[in-house]
């Protein structure tokens, strides 16, 4: 998703296709702490974690509108919640996900007139390569929860961050 030319090419190749559900699940987590920030990695993280969702929306909106009642979803993290930040650090990941949350909120407003639901999904702290061995839940718990959430989403939840457990997460 970091190659916007390829995203545009894919949209053209699928020009006649309806897309009912588009999930941007791409993400990178370059670790960063105060006085230990790789600014090039930060720019790359913003492109993948934040900008790609807006680019996908821009090029695939015709496909989503054609489908009717479509859903455009982005994987976020509670680490992007300003309200939930009690531990600091991880500047790159946190800020890229906070910015993603704002993109989702704005897209929800802008795409409402097309009937496209836009939401951010928090998968939980999952035991994966990215989440590490200390994650609170396993992959199947996260995936099964997200599947239920996605199936039950309505336009009333558009513009919100929703956890794998169905609970709205404060920005």
Cβ pair 109, 158 in contact under 8 A: no
What is the pLDDT, as a whole number, of residue 111? 98
Which of 147, 144, 149, 152 minimizes the C-alpha distance to 169? 149
Model confidence at 131, pLDDT cuts 50, 70, 90, reads confident
What is the pLDDT, as a whole number, of residue 26? 86
Q: Which residue has the tokens 């009937």?
A: 115
What is the pLDDT, as a whole number, of residue 70? 98
Structure tokens at 50: 């934040």
Q: Which residue has the tokens 């336009």?
A: 155
Q: Round to whole Å and give the CA distance between 94 and 109.
A: 23
The model carries a pTM of 0.94
pLDDT digits (tens, 9 = 90+) for 20-77: 999 999 899 999 999 999 999 999 999 999 999 999 999 999 999 999 999 999 999 9
Residue 113: pLDDT over 90: yes
CATH number of the domain within which 61 lies: 3.40.50.720
pLDDT digits (tens, 9 = 90+) for 63-112: 999 999 999 999 999 999 999 999 999 999 999 999 999 999 999 999 99
Instruction: Name the percent of the chain lying above pLDDT 90.
Output: 91
Domain total of the chain = 1
Model confidence at 129, pLDDT cuts 50, 70, 90, reads confident
What is the pLDDT, as a whole number, of residue 133? 85
Per the structure, the complete domain to which residue 120 belongs is given by: 4-169
In whole numbers, what is the pLDDT of the chain averaged over residues? 96
Instruction: Tell me how far apart the terminal alpha carbons of the chain are, to the nearest angstrom.
Output: 24
For residues 27-45, one letter each, b for 16 or more C-beta atoms within 10 angstroms of the residue's C-beta and e for the rest, the string is bbbbebeeeeeeeeebebb
What is the pLDDT, as a whole number, of residue 30? 93
Structure tokens at 65: 């509108």
């Amino acid at each position: 998703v970091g190659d916007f030319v390829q995203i545009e090419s894919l949209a053209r190749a699928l020009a006649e296709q309806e897309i009912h559900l588009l999930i941007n699940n791409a993400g990178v987590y370059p670790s960063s702490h105060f006085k230990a920030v790789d600014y090039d990695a930060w720019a790359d993280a913003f492109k993948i974690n934040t900008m790609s969702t807006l680019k996908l929306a821009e090029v695939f909106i015709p496909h989503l509108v054609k489908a009717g009642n479509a859903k455009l979803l982005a994987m976020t993290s509670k680490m992007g919640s300003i309200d939930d930040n009690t531990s600091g650090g991880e500047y790159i990941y946190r800020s890229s996900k906070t910015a993603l949350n704002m993109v989702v909120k704005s897209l929800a407003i802008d795409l409402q007139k097309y009937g496209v639901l836009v939401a951010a999904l928090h998968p939980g702290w999952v035991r994966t390569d990215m989440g590490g061995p200390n994650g609170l839940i396993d992959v199947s718990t996260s995936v099964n929860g997200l599947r239920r959430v996605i199936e039950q989403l309505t336009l009333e939840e558009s513009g919100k961050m929703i956890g794998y457990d169905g609970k709205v997460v404060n920005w």
